[in-house]
Amino acid sequence: MTTEIGLFGSIDAETLASAEEQKAPELVYGSAEEFLHEQLLPTYVRDVDGRAAKWCIEWYFHPEAVSRIEALWRAWEHLRLDGATGISVWYKDHADHHMSVLLDPRGPFYKCDMQKHRDPEHLEPKRAPSGWFPDVRQQLA
């Protein structure tokens, strides 16, 4: 049996069924926050004393932390599917790296402590002179 696929020819039913089976697997966690509370923090335990490691109870006010936790969650969801070394790779290449940055006393939570969030100071660089960094999207069009 053959199923037509537009202008590009046809595909047999077995190949079509195989492609449907290869759809993205269901996520374990529905959000980076759920991943943080249910997986990351319960398994990645450190002594957060404010000197050697810092954390902010309102971590979600720190854009860098949100981005890194989102990256950790997405990498975990992908690598958990590798039954051989996926989780080891996740720890080595993702968790250890990002958590070291997040927990660093000079990291994104440098002004905070476990009891109080304090807004970080953001860098306010000057804009480069006009034309120094042309928009490459316009060159590609």
37-78: pLDDT as tens digits: 999 999 999 988 888 999 999 999 999 999 999 999 999 999
Q: Note the pLDDT of residue 37.
A: 97
Q: Are 119 and 64 in contact (CB under 8 A)?
A: no
The predicted model gives 6-22 an average pLDDT of 62
Q: Are 54 and 80 in contact (CB under 8 A)?
A: no
Q: Note the pLDDT of residue 138.
A: 82
Q: Note the pLDDT of residue 119.
A: 85
Which amino acid, residue 77? E
Q: Note the pLDDT of residue 3.
A: 53
Enter the pTM of the model.
Answer: 0.74
